[in-house]
Amino acid sequence: MYYKRFYLRLGVFIRYYITTPIYYVNDKPHIGHAYTTTMADIFARWHRLCGDEVFFLTGTDEHGEKIEKAALKEGITPKIFVDKVVLKFTDMWKELDISYDKFIRTTDIVHEETVKKFIKMLYEKGDIYKGNYEGWYCVPDETFITELQLVEGKCPVCGREVKKVSEETYFFRLSKYQKQLLEFYEKNQEFLMPKTRSAEIINRVKDGLNDISITRTTVKWGIPFPIDEKHTIYVWFDALINYLSALDWPDGDLKIFWPANVHVVGKEINWFHTVIWPALLFSAGIELPKMVFAHGWWTVEGKKMSKSLGNAIDPLDIKKRYGLDQMRYFFVREVPFGDDADFSEKALIARINGELVNDLGNLVFRTLTLAERFDGIIKGTPELDKHLDVEKIKTLMRNFDTFNAMDEIWSQIRASNKYINEKEVWKLKGEELSNALYNLLESIRVITILITPFMPKTAEKIRIQLGVDAQKIDKCKFSEYSGTVKKGGHLFEKINS
């Protein structure tokens, strides 16, 4: 690790810092949390495959009124409560094979100290002042809401009840940063992603910004506000700073990963990440992240996922019944990254039976069956690599277009199956058979490299059958086939619906 840091400073490796939101620990994670974290995991793994130095951060948001209430309901202290619930997240990410480099908790001492340092900088700059907050508050979303934003008296984001709040508070001068924000969006066209969501943010900023409340007096479960300890720091202010404190900002070695390449978030918290967070960074004089990617929301069989409806999908249940890579594949293929989507088991089964069993599973099974039977040296001339465009896949991944990147990989899988059928490979003999097997095995080897970030376990299974080691993206060219095949069972099981 240390020699790598040395080379990092020299700029030999490309650094890639990717984050997920830090999730509230009021309840166990569901499919929505698993989606964001899995997608971020895919990008982290993709960049490692490309040889980049990756820092992938996830974690938990542990302060605030919502957690305070959840703990009270269980009759335990918030600290005991969060220490218990956080395990549901760390256990889940272990089960889902999430390759994070660091897991941050906002109750970590280092984080709390960083938040205090950060807030003092803003105070000294004159961007924090005392006043009174009169308005509404949505506890489940931990969000202040103005009278104008209410929709039929309810929270405009989640539609739940809001409560009236009237308390002394410290404000942050968000209004001061309107012009700077608009200029920043204009100059940095890649910051607001996907493009389909940028107009909404820009228009809201153009409409004008109100200063925001950043402390609470009625919530005890928070970081003490260093300027006035009667107040605790508003949970969102505390939470956003995790992206810096995870790097031991301002003095730690890891700070070389800043600015983050991308914060991956759900669309409902886009505002916090693309307006409030940048303004806080402007105030502190810190460089802004390069991109915030706000993806869409999953519904379940057409309905919003919620505790009260009892329809939240447990990722562990999906893993158990259908398999982990099957779920990861579904996340990528069911919807372009960024759009809203609907989770239905029928759709999941259709993808497993169609694309995984019939396309990829069959290709590997048929090829390996023929290759194992073949008694001779497998060699030939590349001909099945004609339409494989790795550069195109790289570009698609740079643009967060996992959907079309996967489609490109799949066209190679389909072309390989077509090759078997058209050449009737099972009828070939001698050199012709050797050549066909060479092309198919090389095609599968390259496909395996490319699917590794998406379906790591499946890739590992195929590599064992091919007798090859894990390889990086630069090995995606047909070369000499140098493995020893050892056919295994079917990669995927067909699901009877």
**Which residue is nearest to ligand ME8, using beta carbons?**
32
Sign (positive or negative) of CA dihedral 190, 193, 195, 199: negative
Q: 217: which residues sit within 8 A by CB, 6+ positions away?
A: 167, 168, 169, 230, 231, 232
Tell the smallest beta-carbon distance from residue 35 to ligand ME8 (Å). Answer: 5
Q: Using CA atoms in the order 336, 339, 344, 348, what is the torsion angle rounded to 10 degrees?
A: 10
Beta bridge partners of 164: 136
Tell the smallest beta-carbon distance from residue 177 to ligand ME8 (Å). Answer: 19
Tell the smallest beta-carbon distance from residue 342 to ligand ME8 (Å). Answer: 10
Tell the smallest beta-carbon distance from residue 260 to ligand ME8 (Å). Answer: 12
Q: How many CA atoms lie within 13 A of 370 on its CB side?
A: 24
Kindly list the residues in this chain that would bind ligand ME8 in the complex (CB under 6 A). 21-24, 32-33, 35-36, 61, 239-240, 242, 265-266, 268-269, 297-298, 305
* 3-state secondary structure at position 57: strand
CB of 88 or CB of 394, closer to ligand ME8: 88
CB of 21 or CB of 289, closer to ligand ME8: 21
Beta bridge partners of 212: 172
CB of 244 or CB of 459, closer to ligand ME8: 244
What does residue 303 show for φ and ψ, rounded to 5 degrees?
-115, 150
For residue 189, how many other CB atoms are within 10 A of its CB?
10
Beta bridge partners of 24: 61
What does residue 171 show for φ and ψ, rounded to 5 degrees?
-105, 150
62 with 105: CB under 8 angstroms?
Answer: yes
Tell the smallest beta-carbon distance from residue 126 to ligand ME8 (Å). Answer: 25
Tell the smallest beta-carbon distance from residue 486 to ligand ME8 (Å). Answer: 40
CB of 23 or CB of 133, closer to ligand ME8: 23
* 3-state secondary structure at position 109: helix
Tell the smallest beta-carbon distance from residue 64 to ligand ME8 (Å). Answer: 8
Q: How far is CA 226 from the centre of its chain?
A: 33
d(CA 249, CA 238): 14
CB of 311 or CB of 471, closer to ligand ME8: 311
